């Protein structure tokens, strides 16, 4: 089969000028066989297992990157949710586990490690409570460790006690990292219907149904989709959807190819391609820009939810044709701080929290990397989480909240995190209290859709 020069030039252009990349290669590692009643031995076991499995991960990903000439931005590890394997330890022990994970991550040279996590959608065990209480300190005292807590599923409903607790936990995480803009919160995600094979941080963990070790790949290319849409001459929305589909196909094929080569070289099972459009702070590499390319003056204006629905669906259609092992979160990500177009839209006043929440009902993840005033009460944060969890629960989809009550900041300010995390403009919230609602606790029952058997 001849390779066509036009295809060659197209691929090179995608990489060179449109920021096409493989966002992440993530090795999922099962830590259930590391369980030990002694904390020191337990820590040694997890450290050794991570280092043993992942010591070649970074160099292999770099070799694959150079083989195909396509950049792989992040190399990551996800592990079994720590709360489910370390039930008996106290808070200090949990912090020592986080530090062990951090040192293992540093030793193998990866960018992030996810899995300081708990799944508490139906109820909390004492171990899970202890882990959650340790999250703020764990995130403040580590560099690469990320944490997630699943508080709702369509089958179980929403654990409002956990939601109330997470509001306080987020506030504490912000305070303990106040000198760094509250960066602890950027490493903490609250989920509904968390996927077990998600390679994207901060929500990645290695699910209980997964093999001992697996390679998952997350691809991304909003810049490429943006360029393809902008190139169309006066298209209708059907043509735009078709173009996005074709582009998503190409991006996903590339991710599958690189992921399979990495898994072959590492001798590790291949898991999924997460076919996503995840933006970066680079100009042009923006999901908001794609929405605007469809004819919206500024992201967030009327029509944005419809445009995002079209985009998200076309990405999934194109991607699912390209790979039979699609998983994770798959779809368009709209993290505010990581997307130059989103930041601009907030700053010019066209995008607010209410519109963002509406948009999350048709795309991946949810309220992601949103900064709110530092004096926002914990109950308000819990209420924002509850709203987002309800969208996930009712719509059978994954939703998440990664929110930063930026210490000492108010509307009009912004917080700078650097790197892929970007800059978050502080968004305004309702002044009316949600205190009494959140205080009620208990569990919001699972919706009738849960009864599908």
Nearest Cα residue to 71 out of 10, 146, 14 = 14
Nearer to other proteins, 102 or 256 (CB): 256
| Residue 257 interacting with other proteins (CB under 8 A) | yes
Q: How far from 203 is each of 34, 191, 197, 415, 432, CA to CA, in Å?
A: 22, 8, 10, 21, 30
Contact with other proteins (CB under 8 A) among 21, 137, 197, 256: 256
Nearer to other proteins, 259 or 281 (CB): 259
Contact with other proteins (CB under 8 A) among 76, 121, 144, 250: 250
Nearer to other proteins, 9 or 232 (CB): 9
Contact with other proteins (CB under 8 A) among 254, 287, 386, 393: 254
Contact with other proteins (CB under 8 A) among 253, 317, 355, 443: 253
> x/- string (CB under 8 A) for other proteins, residues 79-108?
------------------------------
Query: Residue 424 — φ and ψ, nearest 5°?
Result: -110, 115
We find the least distance from the C-beta atom of residue 252 to other proteins, in angstroms, to be: 9
Nearer to other proteins, 70 or 384 (CB): 70
Stretch that binds other proteins, among 35-43, 60-68, 296-304, 353-361 (CB under 8 A): 60-68
| Residue 5 interacting with other proteins (CB under 8 A) | yes
> x/- string (CB under 8 A) for other proteins, residues 18-57?
----------------------------------------
We find the least distance from the C-beta atom of residue 7 to other proteins, in angstroms, to be: 5
Nearer to other proteins, 10 or 107 (CB): 10
Q: Which three-class secondary structure string do you get for the chain?
A: CCCCHHHHHHHHHHHHHCCCEEEEEEEEECCHHHCCCCHHHHHHHHHHHHHHHHCCHHHHHHHHHHHHCCCEEEEEEEECCHHHCCCCCCHHHHHHHHHHHHHHHHHHCCCEEECCCEECCCCCCHHHHHHHHHHHHHHHCCCCEEEEEEEEECCCEEEHHHHHHHHHHHHHHHHHCHHHCCHHHHHEEEEECCCCCCCCCCCCCCCCCCCCEEEEEEEECHHHHHHHHHHCCCCCHHHHHHHHHHHHHHHHHHHHHHHHHHHHHHCCEEEEEEEEECCCCCCCCCHHHHHHHCCCCCCCCCCHHHHHHHHHHHHHHHHHHHCCCECCCCEECCCCCCCHHHHHHHHCCCCCHHHHHHHHHHCCCEEEEEEEECCCCHHHHHHHHHHHHHHHHHCCCCEEEEEEEECCCCECEEEEEEHHHEEEEECCCCCCCCHHHHHCCCEECCCHHHCCC
| Residue 451 interacting with other proteins (CB under 8 A) | no
Nearer to other proteins, 256 or 274 (CB): 256
| Residue 66 interacting with other proteins (CB under 8 A) | yes
Distance between alpha carbon 121 and the CA centroid of its chain, in Å? Answer: 18
- Measure the CA–CA gap between 294 and 301, rounded to whole angstroms: 12
Nearer to other proteins, 14 or 27 (CB): 14
Nearer to other proteins, 68 or 325 (CB): 68
Nearer to other proteins, 248 or 353 (CB): 248
- The 10 Å Cβ neighbour count of residue 450 is 15
> x/- string (CB under 8 A) for other proteins, residues 301-340?
--------------------x-------------------
Nearer to other proteins, 249 or 417 (CB): 249
| Residue 17 interacting with other proteins (CB under 8 A) | no
369: tokens are 């990397």
We find the least distance from the C-beta atom of residue 254 to other proteins, in angstroms, to be: 5
Nearest Cα residue to 373 out of 88, 174, 114 = 174
| Residue 411 interacting with other proteins (CB under 8 A) | no
Nearer to other proteins, 16 or 430 (CB): 16
| Residue 231 interacting with other proteins (CB under 8 A) | no
Using CB under 8 A, count the residues that bind other proteins. 25
We find the least distance from the C-beta atom of residue 218 to other proteins, in angstroms, to be: 17
| Residue 7 interacting with other proteins (CB under 8 A) | yes
Residues 111-150 that bind other proteins (CB under 8 A): none
Question: Would you tell me which residues interact with other proteins (CB under 8 A)?
Answer: 1, 3-5, 7-12, 16, 63, 66-70, 250, 253-254, 256-257, 261, 264, 321
């Amino acid at each position: 089969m001849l390779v066509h020069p036009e295809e060659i030039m197209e691929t090179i252009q995608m990489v060179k000028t449109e920021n096409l990349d493989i966002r992440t290669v993530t090795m999922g590692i099962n830590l259930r066989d590391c369980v030990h009643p002694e904390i020191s031995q337990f820590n040694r076991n997890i450290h050794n297992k991570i280092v043993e499995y992942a010591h070649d991960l970074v160099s292999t990903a770099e070799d694959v990157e150079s083989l195909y000439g396509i950049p792989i931005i992040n190399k990551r590890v996800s592990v079994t949710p720590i709360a489910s394997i370390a039930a008996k330890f106290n808070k200090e022990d949990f912090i020592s586990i986080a530090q062990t994970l951090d040192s293992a991550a540093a030793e193998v040279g990866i960018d992030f490690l996810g899995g300081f996590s708990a799944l508490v959608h139906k109820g909390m065990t004492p171990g899970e409570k202890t882990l959650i209480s340790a999250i703020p300190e764990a995130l403040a005292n580590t560099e690469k460790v990320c944490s997630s807590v699943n508080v709702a599923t369509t089958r179980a409903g929403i654990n409002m006690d956990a939601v109330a607790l997470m509001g306080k936990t987020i506030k504490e995480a912000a305070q303990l990292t106040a000198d760094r803009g509250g960066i602890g919160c950027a490493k903490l995600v609250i989920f509904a219907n968390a996927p077990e094979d998600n390679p994207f941080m901060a929500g990645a963990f290695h699910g209980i149904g997964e093999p001992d070790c697996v390679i998952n790949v997350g691809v991304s290319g909003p810049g490429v989709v943006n360029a393809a849409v902008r190139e169309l001459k006066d298209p209708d929305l059907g043509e735009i959807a078709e173009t996005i589909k074709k582009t998503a196909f190409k991006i996903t094929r590339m991710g599958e190819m690189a992921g399979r080569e990495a898994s072959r070289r590492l001798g590790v099972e291949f898991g999924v391609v997460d076919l996503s459009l995840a933006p970066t702070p680079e100009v042009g590499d923006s999901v908001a820009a794609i929405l605007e390319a469809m004819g919206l003056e500024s992201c967030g204006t009327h029509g944005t939810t419809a445009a995002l629905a079209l985009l998200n669906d076309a990405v999934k259609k194109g991607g699912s044709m390209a790979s039979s092992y699609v998983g994770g979160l798959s779809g368009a990500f709209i993290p505010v701080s990581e997307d130059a177009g989103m930041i601009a839209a907030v700053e010019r006043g066209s995008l607010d929290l209410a519109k963002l929440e509406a948009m999350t009902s048709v795309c991946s993840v949810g309220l992601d990397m949103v900064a709110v005033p530092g004096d926002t009460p914990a109950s308000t944060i819990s209420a924002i989480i509850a709203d987002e969890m309800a969208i996930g629960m009712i719509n059978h989809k994954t939703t998440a909240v990664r929110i930063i009550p930026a210490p000492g900041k108010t509307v009009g300010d912004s917080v700078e995190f650097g790197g892929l995390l970007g800059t978050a403009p502080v968004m305004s919230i309702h002044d009316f209290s949600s205190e009494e609602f959140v205080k009620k606790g208990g569990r919001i029952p699972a919706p009738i859709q849960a009864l599908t058997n």
